[in-house]
Structure 1
Amino acid sequence: MPAPRRKTMEPVILLPDEQPTLTIERTFNAPRELVWKMFADPFHLSRWWGPQGFTNPVCQLDFRVGGRWYHVMRGPDGRDYPADSTFVEIVPPERIVYRNRVVENAVWDGNPPPSFKRTLTFAETDGRTTLTLLAEFETFEQREGARRLGFIQGTLESYDRLAEHMEALT
């Protein structure tokens, strides 16, 4: 009897020394069209986005080039974390590029996450989708600041929630 297929592979995280970027790659046991839909549809996006224990009471998504994605993640402690982004490029179902803007909020204690560009690529092989996130920062200090604020761990937890959400749909 063949071994059962794993739902996901272990993520790959890259923090190169030569440029202020961060890459997170994870493979999901789902077709590319489904993974794409989880990002393009606010109904689904609001149900899995954010670290474990977070909800998204606000998720406004104008999914087009030049469109805005404004959302508020609410932490388990009730604190709200607003985020505001603009879509730079959308190539269904292959790539989404967006840039967040700095949102001042008391929850950040005067140290909000920096503005940086994110490129998501979706590649399917044998019914599984590899999602690659490339975060491009202006400086190494910005990259380190995002890391300290939990960007990597939050993304990994968010992807766990994405996998669970897709599993519940099938």
Structure 2
Amino acid sequence: MNSPQVSVTVDKSTKTVYITREFAAPHSLVWDAFTKQEILDQWWAPKPLTSKTKRMDFKVGGRRFYAMVSPEGKEIGWQIQDYTSISPKTNFKFLSAFADKDETPHLPGSNWDLNFSEQNGITKVSISIFNDSLERMEKMIEMGFKEALTMTLNELETLLNGNNHE
């Protein structure tokens, strides 16, 4: 299987993680997969976990509040994404922070910047994740962030391969 690989680069000097992944899918479908709750919940978690969105308002100043759910149905971690910038179909940014079930963020969080482009039927997603502290970034990496995100993006590839009808 010749599946595109996830490229992950860690730059400790800028406290930023860079991720690039290409998908053999239409640009609009990949954009929707990142911005629509009903699609996000199908892939935004490394297996065997799933994602369960409590609420999502994809607009500047809006928020996605969701949990990671174990195979037994236990909510094992809540997360907030506060949308800070949206340029339809090309870019959006959000502050990501762990939270409790009542939406109280555990700061500091990280700032995500996602860029989408398409060339010759291949959609490229480039993600920069900036952390205010090197300690937070190193803790994320230590907790298996790179491996989990790689698995998660591969879940999206699987979903997109099964949804080529749009």
Taking structure 2 as the reference length, the TM-score comes to 0.88
Residue 5 of structure 2 is matched in structure 1 by: 10
Match of 2:91 among 91, 95, 118: 95
Residue 158 of structure 1 is matched in structure 2 by: 152
1: distance between equivalents of 2:37 and 2:150?
20
2: distance between equivalents of 1:161 and 1:80?
20
Higher strand share: 2
Shift of 1:57: 3.2
Residue 141 of structure 2 is matched in structure 1 by: 147
Shift of 1:56: 2.2
Partners of 1:15 and 1:21 within 8 A in 2: yes
Residue 126 of structure 2 is matched in structure 1 by: 132
Identity of counterpart residues, as a percentage?
23
SS of 1:118's equivalent in the other structure is: strand
What amino acid maps onto 1:154 in structure 2?
A: A
SS of 1:165's equivalent in the other structure is: helix
Partners of 2:16 and 2:131 within 8 A in 1: yes
Closer, same or farther: CA 87–30 of 1 in aligned 2, 3 Å: same
Partners of 2:51 and 2:66 within 8 A in 1: yes
Taking structure 1 as the reference length, the TM-score comes to 0.86
- Say how many residue pairs are matched: 159
Partners of 2:37 and 2:53 within 8 A in 1: no
What amino acid maps onto 2:91 in structure 1?
A: R
1: distance between equivalents of 2:54 and 2:41?
6
Closer, same or farther: CA 79–40 of 1 in aligned 2, 3 Å: closer
SS of 2:138's equivalent in the other structure is: helix
Q: Which ranges in structure 1 are unaligned for 5 or more consecutive residues?
A: 106-111
Residue 19 of structure 1 is matched in structure 2 by: 14
Task: List 4+ stretches of structure 1 deviating above 4 A.
Answer: none
SS of 2:86's equivalent in the other structure is: strand
RMSD: 1.9
Q: Which ranges in structure 2 are unaligned for 5 or more consecutive residues?
A: none
Closer, same or farther: CA 10–19 of 1 in aligned 2, 3 Å: same
Match of 2:52 among 53, 57, 61: 57
**2:126 equivalent to 1:118:** no
Residue 24 of structure 2 is matched in structure 1 by: 29
